[in-house]
Amino acid sequence: MTVTHKFPEGFWWGSAASAMQTEGAGFEGGRGKTTWDHWYETEPNRFFDGVGPETTSDFYHRYKEDIKNMKKIGHNSFRMSISWARLIPGGEGEVNAEAVTFYNNVIDELIAQGIEPFVNLFHFDMPLEMQEKGGWENREVIDAYVTYAKHCFALFGDRVTTWFTFNEPIVPVEGGYLYDFHYPNIVDAKKAFQVAYNTMIAHARVVEVYHKNYDGKIGIVLNLTPSYPRSQNPADLKASHICDLFFNRSFLDPAVKGEYPEDLIELLKEHGHLPTTQEGDRQLLKDNTVDLLGVNYYQPRRVKAKEQLPNPYSPFMPDWFFDNYEMPGRRMNPYRGWEIYEKGVYDIMINLRDNYGNIESFISENGMGVQNEERFLKDGRIEDDYRIDFIKGHLKWLHQAIQEGCNTKGYHLWTFMDNWSWMNAYKNRYGFYAVNIDTQERTAKKSASWFEEVSKNNGF
């Protein structure tokens, strides 16, 4: 391989996964129930092919084999999440010794294989009992989450020095409180903004605890999606600005700058949707900004000015201020229904460089889900050249951003091996490794050996 795109020394090559989507062992090892277990029990019809999260990729039993495979394809870092419901069943009270053993084993195995564990504390998997108290609407749940985080730091902080408070915290807001694709399936913007706000208060409190007692790094993982206007017409520009406020800056600004954008506050005030705050919140956010930012990027968001006025009797929505725009000639991943636009990673990094103090960041997720990958099976291997092209296209733009002074430290693919997706089960496959859902056998795809070369050469 002739290397034309060389990355900085010590660049993080790896992948990301979440507890709920890979561990399996849903009723083993003393794990408590999550909102997903409960929703699947009550409405299995809302899950693709009626498949729930009980087994997934069985990482709980096969982590040694998986970590060995990570090593084999050149990982020097891996982002995992801890399941709150596994570590503290019910969300508060006793720590589960079996969970401690499991996570210790995983962390030790990663380190033994020369892979740095990046550990995330919350990846959409709220313990059911916490959701029954109101989830992030309720400040008591914040207290329980802070206690859980303290346990994680005390148990694993001697070996883990890179932490994240939340993965894509806007998704539970969108899914659970606006657009009905996650439990608790509430459509209520007032509650949505309260949940979003309280999540950032929970985040800041955990950052505070970590900085007081440990000297590693703590950050947050945000799915930043550039909002591209259809045109330079002022109406289109305004639509994209408001869209950016809702979907990016509502989390990015408080996380990195320690404050909310003034115009977002004004907009919510005008429509009577400001969340309830408490004294001391503002200072808490100000004093506890992140050391590191994980950026998940899959697709751009394209918007235009509204064609029609919103129905005044409909629930308040961010979509009152913009329409989605389908750009003619865009490239699509037909399986996921998502546009492929590699330059998006560059635009995100330039924005972080110019407007967010060039904070240390990395691509914490990027990936391509494809259906029926068996079609591409040749001599026992899935020839996923489309995935290689997808990664390469994004890495080229990431390399360009680094050349232009962006403080970008790594690239993690979603995901290491095929896993269960929240509502899509195993419809779309994302992994470097194929997982046979019946036998749990792992098989490297072509992208795995390509990535191994990239990591070895620190470029391509």
Catalytic positions: 365
Residue with tokens 């950026």: 295
Check if the beta carbon of residue 140 is closer than 8 Å to that of residue 205: no
Distance in angstroms (rounded) separating the CA atoms of residues 414 and 410: 13
Count of C-beta atoms within a 10 Å radius of residue 62? 17
Cα 443 to Cα 435: distance, rounded to the nearest angstrom? 7
Cα–Cα–Cα angle for 344, 345, 348, rounded to 5 degrees: 85
Query: How many residues would you count in the chain?
Result: 460
Distance separating alpha carbons of residues 91 and 93, to the nearest angstrom: 7
Take residue 184 and report the two structure tokens written for it.
Answer: 């608790």
Who's near 280: CB < 8 A, 6+ residues apart? none
| Residue 431 and residue 418 in contact, taking contact as beta carbons nearer than 8 Å | yes
How many Cβ atoms from other residues are within 10 Å of residue 215's Cβ? 8
Output the CA–CA distances (angstroms, integers) from residue 384 to 45, 243, 374, 388, 436, in the order listed: 31, 34, 10, 7, 16
